[in-house]
Amino acid sequence: MEKLKFEIAGQIALSKNPGSTMKKWREIFQISQSELARYLKISSSTISDYESNRRKSPGSAIIARFVDALFEIDKSKGNVVLSKLTMQTPFQMQDFFETHEFASAISGIDFSKLLAANVVYGEELLAIKKVYGYTLMDSLKIIMEMPIDKYHHLFGSMAERGFIFTKVSTGRSPMVVIRVTPMKPSIVVLHGIDQVDDLAIKLAKKEQIPLLTTKLDLQKIRYALNKL
């Protein structure tokens, strides 16, 4: 737990927009501004000012209080979020996928633009989707070799993320993976193809998940997204 506290505090302290990063973590912990304000014995407007970067960057003492509050509030709810965040991903899982968490959430529209993506389904959904990070995965390895009971590791610290599938032929299999997972990503991206299978599109509609394609070089994708 202390290691996770240190990581969250460090991410806030080193962020170019610490308030936005504080907001991201508050949302990850599913805590409202008013709930956090009550715990810290400050006004909700003060929380709002920090999150919108209207106040000067918080010092180490404020960051420490903020992180402690997230943990204590979650503990009072039965460690719902902490139990997910502290699940260790086995080292061998890195052979199947890589994850990255953004300093603050971006919209589905911005995520799509960064990937120079084509929207196959769900253009109207992009504006309301939040993306907190991404998972880049080898679709063949995920489907053929990764145990289904390990799929939850694909979601990193937040389910609201972009899933980018590589080595895709039609897009059907990746959407079947999405269908069988209890958690759902914000957006699904199929890398390297133009035509998408009709069933994949139907599944995207059923799950109300925007479905995109991109041919942007993988290194360029990593470069664009890992800066966030």
Return the structure tokens found at 149: 């009971």
> What pLDDT, in 10s, does the model give residues 156-195?
878 899 999 999 888 888 888 888 777 899 999 999 998 9
Closest C-alpha to 170, from 192, 141, 185, 143 = 192
Listed in order, the ranges of the chain carrying CATH 1.10.260.40 are: 2-85
Strands 187-191 and 162-166 come out as parallel
Evaluate if residue 91 carries a pLDDT over 50. no
Q: Are 55 and 48 spatial neighbours (Cβ–Cβ below 8 Å)?
A: no
Strands 118-121 and 211-214 come out as antiparallel
- Maximum C-alpha span of the chain: 55
Q: What is the DSSP string of 160-183?
A: SSEEEEES-SSSHHHHHHHHH-SS
CA angle 204, 117, 105 (to 5 degrees): 80
Given the candidates 3.40.50.740, 1.10.260.40, 1.10.357.10, 1.10.1060.10, the CATH classification of the domain at 2-85 is 1.10.260.40
pLDDT of residue 173: 85
What distance in Å separates the CA atoms of residue 33 and residue 23, rounded to the nearest whole number? Answer: 9
With 0-12 / 13-18 / 19 or more C-beta atoms within 10 angstroms meaning exposed / middle / buried, residue 213 is buried
Of residues 89 and 19, more confidently modeled: 19
Evaluate if residue 37 carries a pLDDT over 60. yes
pTM value surpassing 0.95: no
Between 112-126, 180-194, 206-220, the lowest mean confidence (pLDDT) is in: 180-194
Q: What is the mean pLDDT of residues 141-162?
A: 81
Evaluate if residue 105 carries a pLDDT over 80. yes
pLDDT of residue 183: 85
Evaluate if residue 206 carries a pLDDT over 80. yes
Listed in order, the ranges of the chain carrying CATH 3.40.1390.20 are: 91-226
Q: Are 200 and 175 spatial neighbours (Cβ–Cβ below 8 Å)?
A: yes
Q: What is the mean pLDDT of residues 109-118?
A: 95
pLDDT of residue 88: 53
Given the candidates 3.10.20.30, 3.40.50.460, 3.40.50.970, 3.40.1390.20, the CATH classification of the domain at 91-226 is 3.40.1390.20
Task: Give the ranges where the chain is alpha helix by DSSP (H).
Answer: 2-14, 18-28, 33-40, 44-51, 60-76, 80-85, 108-114, 139-144, 172-180, 198-207, 218-226
Q: Are 212 and 112 spatial neighbours (Cβ–Cβ below 8 Å)?
A: yes
